[in-house]
Amino acid sequence: MQNFNYHNPTRYVYGPGEHRNIGPLLKPYAQGRILLHYGSGSVIRSGLLQTVKDSLSEHGISYEELGGVKPNPSVELVRKGIELCRREKVQLVLAVGGGSVIDSAKGIAVGAPNSGDVWELYSRKGSIPENEPIPVATVLTLPAAGSENSPNTVLSNEETGRKLGFKHMGLRPVLSIVDPTLFLTLPRAQMAYGACDMMCHIFERYFTNTTQTALTDALAEATMRTIMQQSTLLAADLQNIDAWGQLALSGTVAHNDLLGLGREQSWACHAMEHELSAVYDVPHGGGLAVIIPAYMEAVWPYNPGIFTQWACNVMGVPPHRDTEAVVREGIRRLRAWYHQLGLPQTMRELGVPADADFNAMATAACKVYDRDAATPTLAGVHPLTAEEAAAIYKATI
Ligand code: NZQ
Ligand code: ZN
C-alpha cells in the first residue's frame, strides 16, 4: 500500500425531500452573494430551480444566476461565469445539475479569484493557481460523474478540440445535497451512462499493480456489485427511488477517492474517452462503454491476478485454474450488463466514424498525464504506448 493524505470535507446530505432544505443548509457557507449555476433546462422544467430560488430567498441568500451549461461543458461559458463573479463579488458557486454543471461551477470557482485565462490551468499539467478557489456547493440531479464529492473538473475547449481535467483540493464541494427524488425524471440512457461511468471510476483505481490493498479491494468490489445490482433494478423500473439512492451513494464513493487510498491509479480509459467526447461530443459514459472491454482484453495478461480476482469477486465467475477463461468470462459478463442497460458497444453505435483519426486521439491521450516523457504512455497494469492505445480504439470499430 502506498502513502496517502486524504481530506474530504464535503458535508454530504442524503435523502428524499432534502433539496427543499438548500437555504438553511447553505446558509453557513454563503457569506455573501452566490452564483446559481445550472444546465440547459431540465431544472426549469422539473420546477427544481424555482424551489431552490425560493428556499435561498427565504433564508436571505442573494444570488446571480447563469444557466445554459451543456453536456461536455465548455470553457466559454465558464469564462462568462468568471466575469460575472468578479463583477458581482460572488462568494460561492451553487451548481444545480449533473456532472457537467458541477464541473462548470468548479471552473468558475477557480477562475474567478485568479488572473489569467482559466483554460491555462486545465491545459498545463500540474498547474497550481495562486489563490484558493471560492467554495462550490451542489444539488445533484444526475448520479454519474461523482463531481459532487470529487476535487476534479473536466472542461471542453471547442477552439482547440480538447477536453481536459483540473484537480484542486479546494474544489471538493463544501456541501452536496443528494436527493433521489430528483433523479426520477432521468431517461434510461442517462442512468446507464452514469452507472458505466461509476464502474470505470473504480476500474481506474482497481486495475493497477499496487499490492497489500485488501481493504480498498474489498470496498471497491462491494461498490461495483452494488452499482450493477441497483442499475439493473433501475433498468426495469426508473421510478425505484431506493435504487436511485443506493446507486447515487455508490457513484459518490466510486470517485471520492476512498477506493483509491494507498493505490497507484490508471485513468487510461478516461484519457482515451475524453479525446472521443472532445472531438465527437459523445456522452462520457457511452464512450467508456465502448473503450473499457477492449482495454481489458488488451491489458489483462500483464496482471492476470487482479483481473481474475475481479471476475470472481465482482462478476460472479466460478474460480478455475484456467485464468484466461475466467477473465474472458468476466469481460463477457461485463458486456452483457452493458447490453442489458442499452449501452453502445462499438464506435459505430456511438456515432464515431470508422475513419476517425484514432492515431491522433491515442497520441493526445498518452500526453495527458505523461507529456514530458520521450515516449508518453498511459498508466495502469501496463504502460500503454500510443500505438497500443490506437489499436484499442480500432478494435472497437
Ligand atoms: O442540461 P440539462 O437540461 O440539465 O440536462 C442534462 C444533460 O442533458 C440532463 N439531466 C441532468 N439531470 C437531469 C437531466 N435530465 C432529466 N432529469 C434530471 N434530473 O442529463 C444530461 C447529461 O448531463 P451531464 O451533467 O452532462 O451528465 P453527467 O453527470 O454524466 O456528467 C458528465 C460530465 O462529467 C465529466 C464528464 O467528462 C462529462 O463532461 N466527468 C467529471 C468528473 C469529475 N468532475 O470528477 C469525473 C468523470 O470521470 C467525468 O469525466
Ligand atoms: Zn468518468
The proportion of the chain whose per-residue pLDDT surpasses 70, expressed as a percent, equals: 100
Contact partners, residue 55, CB within 8 Å, separation at least 6: 20, 21, 22, 23, 24
Q: What is the mean pLDDT of residues 169-182?
A: 98
CATH for 11-182 (3.40.50.720, 3.40.50.10300, 3.40.640.10, 3.40.50.1970): 3.40.50.1970
Please state, in angstroms and as integers, the Cα–Cα distance from residue 382 to each residue in 249, 260, 375, 388, following that order: 31, 18, 14, 10
* Residue located via cell numbers 442517462: 190
pLDDT value of residue 334:
98
Confidence of residue 397 (pLDDT cuts 50, 70, 90): very high
Strands 162-167 and 152-157: antiparallel
| CB under 5 Å of ion ligand 2: residues | 197
- In contact, 251 and 143? CB cutoff 8 Å: yes
Block residue for cell numbers 497520441: 363
Domain limits of the chain? Answer: 11-182, 187-395
On the 0-12 / 13-18 / 19+ scale of CB atoms within 10 A, 50 is: exposed
Q: What is the pLDDT of residues 56-107, one digit of tens each?
A: 999 999 999 999 999 999 999 999 999 999 999 999 999 999 999 999 999 9
pLDDT above 90 as % of the chain:
97
Q: Which residue is it, cell 484514432?
A: 358
Does domain 187-395 bear CATH number 1.20.1090.10?
Answer: yes
344 in Cβ contact with 100 (< 8 Å) = no
Give the mutation target among 102, 104, 154, 369 for probing the ligand 1 site: most ligand atoms within 8 A of CB. 154
Ligand nearest to the CA of 256: 1
Helices (H), the chain: 22-26, 42-45, 48-58, 75-88, 99-111, 119-123, 188-206, 214-236, 241-255, 268-280, 284-299, 304-313, 323-341, 347-350, 358-370, 386-394
Q: Which helix (H) or strand (E) holds 12?
A: strand 11-14
Look at the chain and count its residues: 397
Within 10 A of 215 (CB to CB), how many other CB atoms are there?
Answer: 12
What does the pLDDT look like over 358-370, one tens digit per residue? 999 999 999 998 8
The answer, yes or no, to whether residue 113 has pLDDT greater than 80, is yes
* Ligand 1 pocket member 194 (CB < 6 A): yes
Strands 63-66 and 92-97 turn out to be: unpaired
Query: Is 127 within 8 Å of 168 (Cβ atoms)?
Result: no
Question: In this structure, what is the dihedral angle of CA atoms 113, 114, 115, 119, given to the nearest 10 degrees?
Answer: -120
Q: CA angle at residue 147 from 66 to 279, to 5 degrees?
A: 75
193 to 144, 289, 343, 344: CA distances (angstroms): 7, 8, 7, 10
* pTM of the predicted protein model: 0.97
Cβ density class 92-115: b for 16+ within 10 Å, e for less: bbbbbbbbbbbbbbbbbbbbbebe
- Whether 252 lines ligand 1, by a CB cut-off of 6 Å, is no
The rounded Å distance from CA 211 to ligand 2 centre is: 24
Give the closest residue (by CA) to ligand 1 atom 31: 99
Residue 3's pLDDT is: 98
Q: Lowest-confidence range among 81-95, 117-131, 186-200, 269-283?
A: 117-131
* SS3 state at 26: helix
Q: Is the CB of 145 inside a 6 Å radius of any atom of ligand 1?
A: yes
Among the atoms of ligand 1, which is closest to the Cα of residue 44? 3
Reported as a pLDDT band with limits 50, 70 and 90, residue 125 is confident
Residue 13 has pLDDT above 90, yes or no: yes
**In which band, very low, low, confident or very high, does the pLDDT at 126 lie, cut at 50, 70 and 90?**
confident
Q: Say what the pLDDT of residue 264 is.
A: 97
Confidence at 150, pLDDT banded by 50, 70, 90: very high
Using a 6 Å cutoff on CB, does residue 167 contact ligand 1? no
Residue 122 has pLDDT above 90, yes or no: yes
pLDDT of amino acid 371:
82
Contact present, 107 and 85 (Cβ < 8 Å): no
Q: How far apart are CA 266 and CA 244, in angstroms?
A: 28
DSSP H helical segments within 210-354, as ranges?
214-236, 241-255, 268-280, 284-299, 304-313, 323-341, 347-350
Pocket test of ligand 1: the residue of 38, 42, 163 to mutate, having most ligand atoms within 8 Å of its CB, is 42
Q: Is 41 in the pocket of ligand 1 (CB under 6 A)?
A: yes
pLDDT for 379 equals: 95
Residue 143: its pLDDT value, please? 98
Cα 59 to ligand 2 centroid, rounded to whole Å: 35
d(CA 4, CA 354): 42
pLDDT in tens, 270-325: 999 999 999 999 999 999 999 999 999 999 999 999 999 999 999 999 999 999 99
Q: Is 168 in the pocket of ligand 1 (CB under 6 A)?
A: no
Contact 136, 105 (CB under 8 A): yes
The protein residue with its alpha carbon nearest to ligand 1, atom 18, reads 186
> Is 386 near ligand 1, meaning CB less than 6 Å away?
no
Ligand located closest to 77 CA: 1
- Spatial distance between the Cα atoms of 79 and 63, rounded to a whole number of angstroms: 18
Classify residue 232 by burial, with Cβ atoms within 10 Å: 0-12, 13-18, 19+. middle
Predicted local distance difference test score (pLDDT) of residue 388: 98
Q: Is 40 in the pocket of ligand 1 (CB under 6 A)?
A: yes
Q: Is 71 in the pocket of ligand 1 (CB under 6 A)?
A: yes
Lowest mean pLDDT among 113-117, 122-126, 167-171, 378-382: 122-126
Flag whether pLDDT at 253 surpasses 80: yes
For range 145-174, the mean pLDDT: 96
Instruction: Give the C-alpha separation, 105 to 109, whole Å.
Output: 6
Question: Is pLDDT of 116 > 80?
Answer: yes
| Cα 187 to middle of ligand 1, angstroms | 12
Q: Is any ligand 1 atom within 6 A of the Cβ of residue 190?
A: yes
Short-list 223, 284, 278, CA closest to 252? 223
